[in-house]
Amino acid sequence: MNDPLPRTILLVDTERYSDRDDVQQAFLRRMLYDVVDRTLLAAGIDQTLRLRADRGDAIMELIDPGAPLTTLLRALLTEVPAQLRAVNRLAASSAQIRLRAVLATGYVAVDEFDGWVGSDLNHACRLLDGEPLKEALRERTDDYALCVSEPVYAGIVRHNHTGIPAEEFTAVTMPSKNGPLGAWLYGPLPKGTAAPAAPARAVPAAPPAPAGGAHPEYGINGGQFGGFNYGVNGGTFHGDVHLGGGDRR
């Protein structure tokens, strides 16, 4: 097996694929390929920057990490919905295609059988199969549901890059056979799904004051404040003050 390499991981799955007959499934597969290819090309990602694995009703893409993740995410937020509208407005009701997608990052190795190996890939697949993502797609009318992994949210989404509205992503917990997994869902949460509670921030306790009410000395960048020190902005310092060098009294 080759060494694991950093990859951008894109997974796209077709809803209710197995409910269709063979002719409808063949049509859905062509549409799936078309939507994904057009989206990646819109993001500037050609065949030289990606590897694809076909899973019948789904596509898995390993993308060169040199391709800007911000550009890809913008395309997933805009190009996929546009492509789905264009396809479904001309398709019969039995041939409507609805997709859910996961964008993640991590390390993946490709073995001698062209198989893909990596816990980060497994993690992304479990997000794709997570019930909150499936339920979000079932409840929506725009034929598309997307979630991103926690590293993608932390590295890209939360910074509010142009065209990537952080406020429209909500933290969700995806149940899996290996325990709950965190992710960020784009768009409204499905009914009955509660966002995970934010962890409480610990507030450090003030150091105890010695007898007589005097506070101990505090240092800032190597300096010392001696005596009674009650504030910084607008506060008054009493006693000896030493700031990294000469004495000030």
Distance CA 46, CA 6 (A): 18
pLDDT of residue 113: 85
Percent of residues, the chain, with pLDDT higher than 90: 63
pTM above 0.85, yes or no: no
Q: Write out pLDDT tens, residues 201-245.
A: 444 545 555 555 544 444 444 444 444 444 444 444 444 544 444
Asked if 8 and 103 touch (Cβ cutoff 8 Å), the reply is yes
User: Is residue 186 predicted with pLDDT exceeding 60?
Assistant: yes
Domains belonging to the chain, first-starting first, are: 5-186 (3.30.70.1230), 204-249 (no CATH)
Q: How confident is the model at residue 178 (pLDDT cuts 50, 70, 90)?
A: confident
Comparison of pLDDT for 75 and 199, the residue scoring more: 75
Positive or negative: CA dihedral 151, 180, 178, 136: negative
Asked if 183 and 150 touch (Cβ cutoff 8 Å), the reply is yes
- Mean pLDDT for the stretch of residues 39-44: 97
Q: How confident is the model at residue 177 (pLDDT cuts 50, 70, 90)?
A: confident
Asked if 135 and 144 touch (Cβ cutoff 8 Å), the reply is no
Distance CA 133, CA 199 (A): 23
Q: How confident is the model at residue 70 (pLDDT cuts 50, 70, 90)?
A: very high
- Mean pLDDT for the stretch of residues 34-46: 96
Cβ neighbours of residue 182 closer than 8 Å, sequence gap 6 or more: 150, 171, 172, 173, 174, 196
Q: How confident is the model at residue 119 (pLDDT cuts 50, 70, 90)?
A: very high
Comparison of pLDDT for 111 and 159, the residue scoring more: 159
Would you call 181 helix, strand, or coil by DSSP?
strand
- Mean pLDDT for the stretch of residues 1-10: 91
User: Is residue 249 predicted with pLDDT exceeding 80?
Assistant: no
Asked if 72 and 63 touch (Cβ cutoff 8 Å), the reply is yes
User: Is residue 248 predicted with pLDDT exceeding 90?
Assistant: no
Half-sphere exposure of 207 (CA within 13 A, CB side): 10
Distance CA 11, CA 152 (A): 14
Q: How confident is the model at residue 136 (pLDDT cuts 50, 70, 90)?
A: very high
- Mean pLDDT for the stretch of residues 125-136: 95
